[in-house]
Amino acid sequence: MKKDIGGHRPVMTTLFEKILSGDIPSHPVASGEGWYAFLDIFPRREGHTLVIPHRGVQRLADLTPTEQSQLMAGVTYVQKVLGQHFDTTDFTVCVHDGPLAGQEVPHVHVHVLPRTENDGGSTLMAMWPRTMSSEPDHGALASLSANLQGVK
């Protein structure tokens, strides 16, 4: 355990922080300023890589703009590495931002999966059932759009 910034309550050290510290082994792919990339131990396909920021925060919004930039630089570097190895320029890049989004380790991480012809993978749309209507509800979309643009 470690103490939070205010030093008041203990905070659990995440699996990824233990990987970063070397307490738990990993299978590295690459690393750079502010990020580390390693192979997922339960890959959805060969080459499934996780890219994590050095600082252990749960959500993307908790990263500083510099950390966000470093993380995305890591993602694109990993795409280059995986692309050369798997001879592809196509990737599924996914972030589960919080537990309700499917995040299992409370430390921001980006999944990078190389995609190749007939790899058995699917699209984001396959993750949810089909909508009830075959026609878009432009009225509801316009209303939501207006409400979202008002959020500061």
Annotated catalytic residues are 109
45 CB-near residues (< 8 Å, 6+ apart): 113, 114, 119, 120, 121
Phi, psi at residue 129, to the nearest 5°?
Answer: -65, 160
CA distance 111 to 152: 29
CA distance 123 to 140: 25
List beta partners, residue 93: 112
